[in-house]
Chains A and B, each alone.
Chain A
Amino acid sequence: MEKSQYHAIGKTSIRKDGISKVTGHEIYTTDVVLPRMFHARVLRSSFPHATIKTIDTREAEKLGAVCITPRDVPNLRYAERIVTIPSKTFKDRQVLTHTPRHVGEAIAAVAAETEDLAEQALSLVRVEYERLPAVFDPFEAMKEGSPLLHRTILFGQDEIKVKNNIAASREIVEGDIEKGFKEAEIIFEETFETGRVYHAQMEPKSVVCQPEADGGITVWTTTQTIHNVRQLLGEIFNIPLSRVNVKKVALGGSFGSSIQMNSVVPIGVALALKARRPVKLVSSREEDMYDHCKYPSWIQLKLGAKRDGTLVAGHMKVIIDIGAHNTQAYPLLGCMAGWWVSLYRLPHLKFEGRAVYTNKVPACAMQGFGNPQVTFAVESMMDMLAERLEIDPIDLRLKNYVGLGETFWGQGPTVKSIIRSCGVEEMLRKGAELVGWKDKFKREKKEGVIRRGIGMARGFHTSGAGAPMAGEVIDYSGSIVKINEDGSVDFLTALMDLGGGTLDALAKIVAEELKVPLDKVGISPVDTRTTVYDVATHATRGIYCGGGALHKVTGQAKTKLLEFASRILQAPPHSLKMEVDEEAGQGMVYVDGVQGRRISVGEVAKTAQINNWGTIAAVDSLRQVSCPPCFMAYFIEVEVNTETGVIKPTKALAYADVGQVVNPDLARGQLFGGLYRGLGYALLEDTQYDEESGELTSGGWITDFKMLTANDLPEMDNIEVHFTDTYEPTGPFGAKGIGEAALNPVAAALANAVYNAIGVRFKKIPITPERVLEALKGMEKRND
């Protein structure tokens, strides 16, 4: 179909939740209030590593509080994230623990009539700790004799011993790297380090749980996946899934932080089951900061190339400091290998990754899932290689990138598919033209206090984790579509909207397929009982996988609609066509070329009802057999103040290949947001620990964690975004993803620009003013 014929896809529209969000009517988990509701507080470990000798809750109970300790919760170990197939899942979590392994880990919890009373009760719980030695550095943690965080963990059903705090490791080999490096004419190796960023989603993690009379529970919570929360709660508390209902509520941001079932959820459930009253548990910001962070990485990368710039071999060694629990380190390592080998062709490669336990806050996915880390390393190296070869860094990338028709395995070695759409060449060539790359990019020493530079980097993310083979990762979505008797349409999906406008995109897919006006498509409020399974809104899969499933189901409803219309119009279904009639506010079915044979979707549905033909509805699931990369490139200009060390990004151009753009406005919004968080990652954000106390040096304050604000970004007229003209044949109406791609190359582009400005190659982010000054001082010394 000609793109110009679309009435909804690619058209700017007002987001459907807009009015309720701007007028204060949207309900988030923290806003849910139930009759007779108790308020909960959690007792968290003051020490980074300890065993609990005794917990005494008697005084707290005298106040009327309900208390739970590790003895009151099911004694089993689980993984909070259940997207990997069970046999490949590592499990080391408990609802409450006798052995806290980081400051802030939950030991006990109380619930009482009021928040005040709950706080008083919490202060009366007495805990006797026995401190254990702790370890904060992953390299220390791997040494013989280091304190061991977990003696054993579960791998699938099997209990396995943990050696040297290594939570998971992975080795992936293709070709023969010895042979590859022998063929290479240039070999070089560098080590890169990335920070432990806090997600800082605006809504702290929360849960409200209502115990039901039949022994079941109803749960409202901050999550990216209502079905996985349901399944895990059913398993932990041994309740049939038909009695566990997780409601979908608006989510106040996530960025990966709620990709797993949040640790507050089973605590709230355990309290509610014991109290036989609804319980609300809202994390404080401090508790939230002690709950999750991005995976920090050490990446040692060796590359071999020919003098003409052709890459021939690569060896990547990765260490990830996962903190106290393994949320999903095994697939993370597989993905990191995948991100690496899908950036540039490497005939011979070896990847070795290790995830290491330390007594710190557990790390989890955060926008990119290892991709920003890998892209920072690889894209820095590509610039370094281009300089050594004295060629343009863009030409080097064009020579080596993995593109159309090649194998893509972004989501790891078991998720391979063929690239069927690719805008890399367009974004690199046109982007360079638009920023004036040829004139601006010069490898020369700059002078003065303020030095300017330009840099670029490219990357991608997958659209979901689908592939022809089943693999290690679960990835499919399902939907329900029903056509109402007035021609409006309801769709039901468990897919979450994390704020990006995913569900608006889905509404457009329905409107387009059925040719009904967009304002006649309703996004139904749902829960796990009224929807079929959807794995999660993660992996940049919302539009491509969730939208793909919805497209399929809408097509089935359409078949039924046309069958009913054919009875009314007395023409075979395949002779019928559809078009939107915006004036009538209806989708129309007509017999092509025959005047007067025309009926609205609403009339078809109404006629079907009157004649007792039934409801026009469909339900089904879809696993995409591909996970097409959404490509991305950034061109960033900076000013570096050599006296203060402050780096000011002054200009940015983002070029994205998202296939057919579904929501143009919201897609641009994703790019602005990705740029913002990427710059924070590159320049400022990190969490650090006091190794005596094991506490965060930020003390749980956002102000002391430090994030960029409105005034730290390039002047808004200096941020430009563009989309390539691409069409993904396997995506709904040609669409693929965008979310995580929007961030992945930012740090590398920024670091490349800083190098261009001051000649310092930063291999560690964030590039704080202190680090800039230190590096400049070091350079002066060398020059003396």
Chain B
Amino acid sequence: MKVSKTYPLKLNVNGEWKKAEVTPRETLLHVMRERLSHTEVKEGCGKGDCGACAVLLDGKPVNACLTLALQADGQRVVTLKGIGTPDKPHPLQESFIKKGAIQCGFCSAGMIVTAKGLLDKNPKPSREEIGKAISGNLCRCTGYKKIIEAIEEAALKLRRTKNDRR
């Protein structure tokens, strides 16, 4: 029986350091879902086609299915659960509900994570920029209109909160 050698992996997931023993060919997606129980990271295709597994890796949205777990060693991973919680949802999460940007919800994890990556970098994106940012995230239910509206609304809210703080 073939047993692949495993290596220690350290990841900061949503602010908490986690350890796992992983094989060299394991993807970040597999480690997140199967070893660390982060089932909010969804597998839609496993080949980088759909974006359902997007996470922020050191602040940048990546497809976890195309990232080898060991490539992410020592880095910060943020998932949907790290963006907000039911008690304290992030403005993106609030807008996604309010605007009806979710239907079946399976693409939402990747979609919101990608949007967070966009807004962190570009607080005032145009619609074209939003469209481009989520062009790797497939949604079969909504027709995207409400998703774009939700991201726009969240961006506005975030800018207002930031201005209020000043």
Partners in one complex: yes
Residues of B within 8 A of A252 (CB): 42, 104-106
Residues of A within 8 A of B105 (CB): 17, 21-22, 26, 250, 252, 499
Residues of B within 8 A of A253 (CB): 103-104, 106, 140-141
Q: What is the 8 Å Cβ interface bit string for chain A, positions 701-738, against chain B (1 contact, 0 not)?
A: 11100010111010110010000000000000000000
A255 at the interface (CB under 8 A from B): yes
State the Cβ distance, B35 to closest chain A Cβ, in Å.
Answer: 11
Residues of A within 8 A of B138 (CB): 200, 202, 702, 707, 709
Is A115 within 8 A of B34, CB to CB?
A: yes
Alpha-carbon distance A18/B81, docked complex (angstroms): 14
B84 at the interface (CB under 8 A from A): yes
Q: What is the 8 Å Cβ interface bit string for chain A, positions 16-58, against chain B (1 contact, 0 not)?
A: 0111111111111011010000000000000000000000000
State the Cβ distance, B94 to closest chain A Cβ, in Å.
Answer: 8
- Which B92-140 residues sit within 8 Å CB-CB of chain A? 93, 96-98, 100, 102-109, 112, 127-128, 130-132, 134-135, 138-140
Residues of B within 8 A of A28 (CB): 42, 106
Is B52 within 8 A of A202, CB to CB?
A: yes
Q: What is the 8 Å Cβ interface bit string for chain A, positions 183-221, against chain B (1 contact, 0 not)?
A: 000000000000000011111100000000000000000
Picked from B34, B40, B127, B135, the residue with its CB within 8 Å of the CB of A709 is B135
B59 at the interface (CB under 8 A from A): no
Of the listed stretches B66-74, B144-152, B157-165, name the one at the interface; the rest are far from the partner chain: B144-152
Alpha-carbon distance A116/B42, docked complex (angstroms): 19
Interface size class of B (residues with CB under 8 A): 35 or more
Picked from B30, B79, B81, B142, the residue with its CB within 8 Å of the CB of A673 is B142
Is A716 within 8 A of B148, CB to CB?
A: yes
State the Cβ distance, A108 to closest chain B Cβ, in Å.
Answer: 20
Picked from B43, B93, B148, the residue with its CB within 8 Å of the CB of A22 is B93
B89 at the interface (CB under 8 A from A): yes
Residues of A within 8 A of B81 (CB): 23-25
Is B140 within 8 A of A710, CB to CB?
A: no
Alpha-carbon distance A222/B107, docked complex (angstroms): 16
Of the listed stretches A410-418, A607-615, A662-670, name the one at the interface; the rest are far from the partner chain: A662-670
Alpha-carbon distance A500/B103, docked complex (angstroms): 6
Picked from A24, A30, A668, A715, the residue with its CB within 8 Å of the CB of B80 is A24
State the Cβ distance, A645 to closest chain B Cβ, in Å.
Answer: 21
Alpha-carbon distance A499/B106, docked complex (angstroms): 9
A564 at the interface (CB under 8 A from B): no
Residues of B within 8 A of A711 (CB): 128, 131-132, 135
Alpha-carbon distance A484/B147, docked complex (angstroms): 37
Known A-B contacts A63-B1, A710-B135; the reply to A21 vs B44 at CB < 8 A is no
Is B131 within 8 A of A710, CB to CB?
A: yes
A285 at the interface (CB under 8 A from B): yes
A644 at the interface (CB under 8 A from B): no
Known A-B contacts A202-B107, A203-B104; the reply to A15 vs B97 at CB < 8 A is yes
Is A21 within 8 A of B49, CB to CB?
A: no
State the Cβ distance, B142 to closest chain A Cβ, in Å.
Answer: 5
B86 at the interface (CB under 8 A from A): yes
State the Cβ distance, A199 to closest chain B Cβ, in Å.
Answer: 8
Q: What is the 8 Å Cβ interface bit string for chain A, positions 250-261, against chain B (1 contact, 0 not)?
A: 111111000000
State the Cβ distance, A59 to closest chain B Cβ, in Å.
Answer: 11
Residues of A within 8 A of B149 (CB): 716
Residues of A within 8 A of B79 (CB): 24
Residues of A within 8 A of B18 (CB): none
Is B4 within 8 A of A710, CB to CB?
A: no
A517 at the interface (CB under 8 A from B): no
Known A-B contacts A120-B2, A703-B49; the reply to A21 vs B108 at CB < 8 A is yes
State the Cβ distance, A255 to closest chain B Cβ, in Å.
Answer: 7
Alpha-carbon distance A702/B43, docked complex (angstroms): 13
- Which A126-181 residues sit within 8 Å CB-CB of chain B? none
Is A676 within 8 A of B142, CB to CB?
A: yes
Picked from A116, A255, A285, the residue with its CB within 8 Å of the CB of B49 is A285
State the Cβ distance, A679 to closest chain B Cβ, in Å.
Answer: 9
Alpha-carbon distance A533/B49, docked complex (angstroms): 38
Picked from A25, A27, A284, A669, the residue with its CB within 8 Å of the CB of B86 is A25
Residues of A within 8 A of B52 (CB): 202
Is B40 within 8 A of A22, CB to CB?
A: no
Is B97 within 8 A of A22, CB to CB?
A: yes
B15 at the interface (CB under 8 A from A): no
- Which A228-286 residues sit within 8 Å CB-CB of chain B? 250-255, 282, 284-285
Is B104 within 8 A of A250, CB to CB?
A: yes
Alpha-carbon distance A253/B52, docked complex (angstroms): 13
State the Cβ distance, A712 to closest chain B Cβ, in Å.
Answer: 9
A476 at the interface (CB under 8 A from B): no
Residues of A within 8 A of B4 (CB): 116
Picked from A25, A200, A282, the residue with its CB within 8 Å of the CB of B140 is A200
Is B45 within 8 A of A285, CB to CB?
A: yes
Residues of B within 8 A of A282 (CB): 43
A368 at the interface (CB under 8 A from B): no
Is A22 within 8 A of B96, CB to CB?
A: yes
Alpha-carbon distance A14/B97, docked complex (angstroms): 7
Picked from B39, B49, B102, B132, the residue with its CB within 8 Å of the CB of A702 is B49
Is A677 within 8 A of B140, CB to CB?
A: yes
Q: Kindly report which residue of chain A lies nearest to residue B4, judged by CB atoms.
A: A116
Picked from A665, A675, A702, the residue with its CB within 8 Å of the CB of B45 is A702
Known A-B contacts A673-B103, A709-B144; the reply to A202 vs B127 at CB < 8 A is no
- Which B34-76 residues sit within 8 Å CB-CB of chain A? 34, 37, 39-40, 42-47, 49-50, 52
Interface residues of B (CB under 8 A from A): 1-2, 4, 23, 30, 34, 37, 39-40, 42-47, 49-50, 52, 79-81, 84-86, 89, 93, 96-98, 100, 102-109, 112, 127-128, 130-132, 134-135, 138-149
What are 22 inter-chain pairs, A to B, with CB distance below 8 A? A15-B97, A22-B93, A23-B85, A23-B93, A24-B109, A26-B105, A27-B39, A201-B140, A202-B52, A202-B106, A203-B42, A252-B104, A253-B140, A285-B45, A498-B104, A673-B103, A675-B143, A703-B49, A710-B130, A710-B131, A710-B144, A713-B145
Interface residues of A (CB under 8 A from B): 14-15, 17-28, 30-31, 33, 63, 115-116, 120, 199-204, 250-255, 282, 284-285, 498-501, 665-666, 668-669, 672-677, 701-703, 707, 709-711, 713, 715-716, 719
Pairs A-B, 6 closest by C-beta atoms: A24-B40, A252-B106, A676-B143, A499-B104, A21-B105, A499-B103
Given contacts A203-B44, A253-B106, A676-B143, 12 further A-B contacts (CB under 8 A): A14-B98, A24-B39, A24-B40, A30-B42, A202-B140, A202-B141, A254-B104, A500-B141, A672-B145, A673-B142, A702-B138, A709-B138
